[in-house]
Amino acid sequence: MDNDIRIGVIGVGHLGEYHVQKYRALKGVELVGVLDIDTDRAAEIAQRYDTRVYGSQEEILEQVDAVSLAVPTVSHFAVAEEILSRGVHLLIEKPITYDVHDADRLIRMARERRLVLQVGHVERFNPAVVKMESLLNQPIFVESHRMNLFTVRGTDVDVVLDLMIHDLDIILHMARSDVREVHAVGMSVITEKTDIANVRIIFENGTVANLTASRVSNQPLRKIRIFQPDAYISVNCYKKEITVTRLNDTSRTESFPQIVSNKMKYPDADPLFDQLSAFVRTVRTGCEPVVTGEDGRAALKIALAIIDQIEEGCKNFQSFC
């Protein structure tokens, strides 16, 4: 495509508004308009960002080349299916759907129509995570903690699909191996769904990952730690920092080995802007997305397995499980 990519945003709640904001600032993009079931909210966002509000999916899909979809997860499949059936490229927020078979349907539709289907796992565009991927060397043990202050937003799904799925996507991409075992536990604290979850994942290649997610923390925390033969890598996704600690052979003493740490910071980075830029570039060039539909499906499949295991076990605070 030589002309500006015509893009619409369907679903302009908290996250959808950020999509509108970033597209407005992106070169080579024509922000065609927005659509939301809350017509007052849609009108407010359209006025704020000097764009048009549409009254129906049919109307907006006639005018665009691509769409960002940021509606509640329960509506992902139905809306995404309509978007793809109209020949429109799609960036769908995570999780891709509620159901693996629905995810398969969307992946198949996009492939058959030669459309871009990108899943919004935005942490893959965090520069600290990007740098981490370039340093991986047969990781042995991975540990992640993702904690958020409680907000009503996001409680349409449990904490596994709300928060943990970010780290599941990163670790699955990192391990590049089939999963052999999953051991999960979780409980509800505030909502009727799981609010705190922990899982241990053992991969066929021997990598072990331990993931914890909570949305009832008193402070935000988003860290990933990687232990591998040549280094210890600590990634602070929240602060967009990475620290790499290695043995320093040049300064080894007779008694003790010496280590050296190198911290890299990316305070001015904007992962969401980079994600949307990559989507636009993929639509323009026809290359494969950084986060494919298959990636979204893989993270969803493990997330649902974790949820099933938690549901079968102890979900609420009890004296004995």
Domain of 210, in residue numbers: 124-269+302-312
Pairing mode of beta strands 5-10, 66-69: parallel
Q: Is residue 14 part of a domain?
A: yes
When the pLDDT of each residue in the chain is averaged and rounded to a whole number, the result is: 93
For residue 154, name the pLDDT band (cuts at 50, 70, 90).
low
| DSSP type of residue 164 | I
Q: What is the pLDDT of residues 126-142, one digit of tens each?
A: 999 999 999 999 999 99
Residue 15 forms part of a structural domain: yes
Contact 2, 10 (CB under 8 A): no
Average pLDDT over residues 85-108: 97
pLDDT classification of 63: cutoffs 50, 70, 90:
very high
Which candidate, 220, 236, 272, places its Cα nearest to that of 14? Answer: 272
SS3 assignment, position 237: coil
Whose CA is closest to 154, among 99, 216, 103, 212? 216
Q: Are residues 139 and 154 in the same domain?
A: yes
Strands 221-228 and 241-247: unpaired
Same-domain pairing of 277 and 259: no
Q: pLDDT at position 318, please? A: 45
SS3 156: coil
Strand ordering across the sheet containing 196-203: 179-187, 196-203, 208-214, 141-147, 221-228, 231-236, 241-247, 259-265
Question: Could you tell me the CATH number of the domain that includes residue 247?
Answer: 3.30.360.10
- Name the pTM for this structure: 0.92
Q: 286 in a domain, yes or no?
A: yes
- Encoded tokens for 183: 């051991």
In whole angstroms, how far apart are CA 294 and each of 108, 110, 158?
A: 10, 11, 22
Establish whether the linkage from the previous residue to 72 is cis, with ω within 30° of 0.
no
Mean pLDDT within 225-240: 97
Q: What is the DSSP string of 190-232?
A: SSSS--EEEEEEEETTS-EEEEEEES--SS-EEEEEEEETTEE
Give the helix/strand (H/E) hosting 260. Answer: strand 259-265
pLDDT reading at 218 higher than 80 = yes
What pLDDT score was predicted for residue 319? 43
158 shares its domain with 307: yes
Check whether residue 155 and residue 110 sit in a common domain. no
106 and 150 fall within a common domain: no
* Residue 211 domain flag: yes
Which ranges in 86-204 belong to alpha helices (H)?
100-113, 127-135, 159, 165-175
Residue at token pair 């636009």? 280
DSSP of 53-85, one letter per residue? E-S-HHHHHTS-SEEEE-S-GGGHHHHHHHHHH
285 with 166, same domain: the answer is no
Report yes or no: 208 and 202 within 8 Å, Cβ to Cβ: yes
- Residue 252 pLDDT: 58
Same domain, 46 and 109: yes
8 A C-beta contact, residue 147 and residue 213: yes
CATH number of the structural domain spanning residue 74: 3.40.50.720
Alpha-helical (H) ranges within 224-269 are: none
- Structural domains in the chain (count): 2
In a domain, 263, yes or no: yes
